[in-house]
Amino acid sequence: MLLAREEQFFAALKAAGMPTVPNEFSVVPLYQVISKATLTEIKQFIHVFERVTTRPSWQEAVSVSASEIARHRRAETCFFSAWDFHLPPNGGPQVIEFNDNGSGLLFGGLINDLYYQFFNLSENAHIQHPCSYTELSEKVISCIKQEVTEFFDHWPQGIFLILEDSEVLQTGKFRYELTLLRDLFRQQDWSAEIGAPEETSYEQGKLFWRGEPVSFIVNRSTDFLWQTEAFSGIRNAYELGKKLYIAPNPFTYVTRSNKRLLEPLSLSDWDQTLGIQADERAVLSAHVPETHLLRSDNLDKIAQKKEEFIFKPAQGFAAQGLLASTEVGRSRLRRLLREDRGYVAQKKVPKNQLSGAGLERTHLWADLRVWAYRGEILLLSGRASIRPDGLDLSPPGGWIPTYIAPDN
């Protein structure tokens, strides 16, 4: 009976627009529940994060040494902002990283909604009714309408372009999510397309995609600073054009999501320069693990305590370039420094280990991904890894339904 439900659940995900589960996309047929107390702490942290990172003193200080294109202050507010938390068995939620173009919002909404239906979780008094996929879609459209209203004087006439790297559009697991988003836009009677940066061009003061004028871009590319030639048209339009909306962009990246920022978020050394207040510092220090940008003056100290840290590239994504403490020593850290790879050392934070039927011989460790727009949470989701110290979503790991405990 349980196996039949799983098959029906997986089939429903595919019918809704996701890749085939579990062959192409891994989903764990279990769930995690987030307590109200934990959710309250997360909300408080997100509000502080938004207040700090949108403050002029912070933005000016963290962007002063960035490339010129990243110093241009912009008005866009990212609506796919995603915080990744570890929930250790002892202690409050810990922010591992932040993404301004986090994948999985629509997939996570489908997983939560359909699992709740197929496994009859409405009968479980310990789970709050989740946001349905329809409700989530309405939230996304509402966010975008707010951005359009605040950015433009009138509704833009060009297409809404969902931008992604060409390789991802061909083989990436989340290319299906881009189709869901495009279709959601088209349901609003908006002209919407999916395209790659190299398909754009800048002509006569306007950005075009395959000959069509573009007004609004949902940027999913991981070329965060637009350094490749493929972005030449978008760079010109961004710097010279006045009415092209694009989020995330280099300014949001250097002021919000570059992993280098985890250092001043976790440590108080720069609070006066950055304008961080005492009450904000208390929240940040409670929820951001100690993080250091690798430098020549701290390399030896970090190497001595390397077992306490995990090492990440500042411009990495999807756990690419992640190094465990067993993989580094002084010589490798020095080489990374010489190569100017921009690594950060972050204190290890244990994940919560899942329990439940079917896990007697398998161990899975879950994290929590929280999407929010302007400080308001849109969705909770999670990923269960087969490794306690990394993000390996190979089966039996994968994305996991995530719910909130009820008020009582």
Q: Is residue 408 included in any domain, yes or no?
A: no
Asked if residue 266 belongs to a domain, the reply is no
β-pair type (245-247, 212-219):
parallel
Q: Does 122 map to a domain? A: yes
CA gap 324, 326 in Å, rounded = 5
DSSP tally for the chain: helices H, then strands E: 14, 17
Is residue 158 located within the same domain as residue 302? no
User: Closest Cα to residue 115, out of 100, 127, 103, 101?
Assistant: 127
Q: Return the pLDDT at 358.
A: 60
Same domain, residue pair 342 and 204: no
Residue 232 in any domain: the answer is yes
Residue 383 shares a structural domain with residue 298:
no
Residue 380 and residue 402: Cα distance in Å, rounded? Answer: 6
Q: Is 183 found in the same domain as 54?
A: yes
- Shared-domain flag, residues 239 and 142: yes
15 and 120 both lie in a single domain: yes
State residue 322's pLDDT score.
Answer: 66
User: Is residue 126, in this structure, part of any structural domain at all?
Assistant: yes
Number of structural domains the chain divides into: 2
Q: From the centroid of its chain, how far is CA 303? A: 29
Same domain assignment for residues 114 and 146:
yes
Residues 56 and 201 in one domain: yes
Q: How far apart are CA 253 and CA 259, in angstroms?
A: 9
Say if residue 299 is in the same domain as residue 389. Answer: no
Same domain, 39 and 6: yes
pLDDT in tens, the chain (408 residues): 556 899 999 999 999 999 999 899 999 999 999 999 999 999 999 999 999 999 999 999 999 989 999 998 999 998 889 999 999 988 899 999 999 888 999 999 999 999 999 999 999 889 999 999 999 999 999 999 999 999 999 999 999 999 999 999 999 999 999 999 999 999 999 999 999 999 999 998 899 999 999 999 999 998 999 999 999 999 999 988 768 999 999 999 999 999 999 999 999 999 999 999 999 999 999 999 999 998 888 888 888 888 888 888 876 555 556 677 666 767 777 777 776 667 888 999 999 988 765 665 678 999 999 999 999 999 999 999 988 887 888 888 999 999 999 876
Decide if 150 is inside a domain: yes
Residues 328 and 363 reside in one and the same domain? no
For residue 339, the enclosing domain spans 290-347
Question: Where residue 310 sits, what CATH number does that domain have?
Answer: 3.30.1490
Kindly report the pTM of this predicted structure. 0.93
User: With contact defined as beta carbons under 8 Å apart, do 291 and 94 qualify?
Assistant: no
Is residue 192 domain-shared with residue 135, that is, in the same domain?
Answer: yes
| Residue 379 belongs to a domain | yes
CB 231 within 8 A of CB 223: yes
Indicate whether 352 belongs to any domain. no
pLDDT at 87: 96
**DSSP alpha helices (H): ranges in 152-213?**
166-171, 175-186
SS3 for 307? helix
